[in-house]
Structure 1
Amino acid sequence: MIAFVFPGQGSQTLNMGKELLEEYPEYKKYLDIASKTIDVDLESIIFGDDEKKLTLTENTQPSLLTISYIMYLYAKEKLNIIPDIVAGHSLGEWTALAAAEVLSFEDAVKLVRLRGKYMSEACPPGIGGMGAVIGLSIDKISEIISQFENINIANHNSPEQIVISGDKKEILEALKLLKEAGAKKVVELNVSGPFHSKLVFPAQEKMEKELKKLKFKKPIYKIIQNYTAQIEENPQKIRENLVKQITGTVRWVETIQKMKDLGVKKVYEVGPGKVLAGLIKRIDKTLKPQSILKV
């Protein structure tokens, strides 16, 4: 069995996808479709020289989804590699849903632009933050952060790497305690908001209203969602999990373990960079993840 995994925010780079689009210019139409859908010139953002503009959440999310979706089409149409299972890391789940035809590409682009906007608006700048904890068990981290009212685990990225999110002052205090408790390394992350925490709950409420306007279809591939780390086929349940994902934990370790349990032998990272491949190697070395651009 083959799995495709789609990256989330943090994998974006200026000029991502440029070589692929130069070799297969027919895929440029998807950049045009995306730009027209949200009335933003994504091409000038992705292939420009203003990195800060690309890293604005409301720009990053549609840009990364579009390039990752183009890479998915390339894999399917040019390489003839078809996945049995798909999953995405946070924002990447939306790309997985577009690939699985649960949502149209246009709807996915429109909604992730709104998702980015709502997440940016949900918590005033400087109030929220995120921190990475290296080399401490999830149980120990959970125990320590339980004393803080406004922190939760945002990403269980690998057995060695866990991200916490919430109130910035509490995050800084928690990181000190986690280091004292034996973490190999703690890092305050340079992010624009406390993603996957209850501080962005207003974004979840707004997205729930937006998602109710759309018809979700049954996926054409098996899809493992972040919120449950389980296969979900029911369109209504997929919608509910997608809403809860905004403030919920990205259960990436369990997602990859689920793939392995289902019989996945090969994993391709479909999107720019190799962040997910690196995480997967730390979760299960036997899966030998590979970028779709290196095939």
Structure 2
Amino acid sequence: MKTGFLFPGQGAQFSGMGKKLFDEFKSVREVFELASDTLKLNMKKLCFESSNSELKLTFNAQPSILTVSFAGLTVLKEILGMYPALSAGHSLGEWTALLSAGSISFEDALKCVRKRGEFMQESIPGINPSMAAIIGISSKEVEDVLKNMEGVYPANYNSSTQTVISGKEEAVEEAVEKLKEKKARAVYLNVSAPFHTPFMKPAEGKMREFLKDITFRDPSIPVLKNIDAEVYKSADEIKDSLARQISSPVRWTDCMRKFLQMEPEIIIETGPRPVLINFIEGGEEIKKFSVCEPKDIKILEREIK
């Protein structure tokens, strides 16, 4: 069965994420232990006992989400023998997608996303950041409003009717008011930085330098890039793409269009909670599942038999 995997990015985190899988499966506990040893922190405590405000901090959110997502993938391989035939991840999730394709080790991925989070957090001195999901109008309508404004940019093209905008708090608020005049609905996101905007250029530069010492391998399966929705052709592309991704918009709508064109028979999202599965447009004939808890694995097992 041709299985496509999706992996979420920052915003999926919450206190207690992954605990039910941790309690149920030894392999998940081993993933958490390896994460703790690699980063010299208590990943169990970070995921299960931290406040939501602590988890919101980018350098905490990113390694914890990657750990929970990878733990879910590990269990599916172990229990159901399910391996990805293609994968994609949203922002941070692209790292998990590359991990699922064997392009990077879990340990190196953890170190990289921890640094990625630190670099992104450091890029915003003096800026009150804000992000908002604009719902109910097209991305073109959002772009038309933002093109004559400063300090706010399209950050995530999530679906045909949801675009996330990002930037300075006052600019985002002004844009939201203008977009509401076009009958859009806005949901402010609980973030600590203006992700995927030019404000992240300093982080992009630092990440590019850090990645010089990281070894990547050619992906063993198709993995889609956030920056242009193209499939990685080789390891040579990975460092540049992951660096550029930090300050570039996530073209998720295009990624999902390409993903469906590759004709997966089943789509599975693993992570703290269902996110990306809700953005899929089309592919009604394809079975779609989110695996976040042991009960999700039982449901999936029944469905695929």
Name the TM-score class by shorter chain.
Answer: over 0.9
SS at match of 2:10: coil
8 A contact 2:131–2:194 mirrored in 1:
yes
**Scaled by the length of structure 1, what TM-score is found?**
0.94
Change (3 A) 1:145 1:283: farther
SS at match of 1:66: helix
- Equivalent residue letter for 2:241: N
Write the mapping of 1:84-233 to structure 2, written as runs, cut at 5 A.
84-124=85-125, 126-183=127-184, 185-233=185-233
How many angstroms does 1:283 deviate by? 5.3
How many angstroms does 1:181 deviate by? 2.3
Number of the residue aligned with 1:71: 72
How many angstroms does 1:125 deviate by? 6.0
Q: 1: distance between equivalents of 2:274 and 2:282? A: 15
Structure 1, unmatched stretches of 5+, are none
Aligned sequence identity (%): 38
- Equivalent residue letter for 2:45: S
Q: 2: distance between equivalents of 1:5 and 1:230? A: 15
Q: 1: distance between equivalents of 2:27 and 2:165? A: 41
SS at match of 1:165: strand
SS at match of 1:47: helix
Number of the residue aligned with 1:80: 81
Q: Which deviations, in whole Å up to 9, do the C-alpha atoms of 1:247-284 show, x marking residues without a partner?
A: 1111111111101111123210111211111112x455
Number of the residue aligned with 2:249: 249
Structure 2, unmatched stretches of 5+, are 301-305
8 A contact 2:56–2:191 mirrored in 1:
no
How many angstroms does 1:138 deviate by? 0.9
Does residue 29 (structure 1) correspond to residue 30 (structure 2)? The answer is yes
Q: 2: distance between equivalents of 1:221 and 1:34? A: 24
Aligned pairs, number: 293
- Equivalent residue letter for 2:64: S
Q: 2: distance between equivalents of 1:54 and 1:140? A: 33
Q: 1: distance between equivalents of 2:146 and 2:24? A: 49
Change (3 A) 1:257 1:20: same
- Equivalent residue letter for 2:255: T
Q: 1: distance between equivalents of 2:47 and 2:175? A: 36
Change (3 A) 1:187 1:51: closer
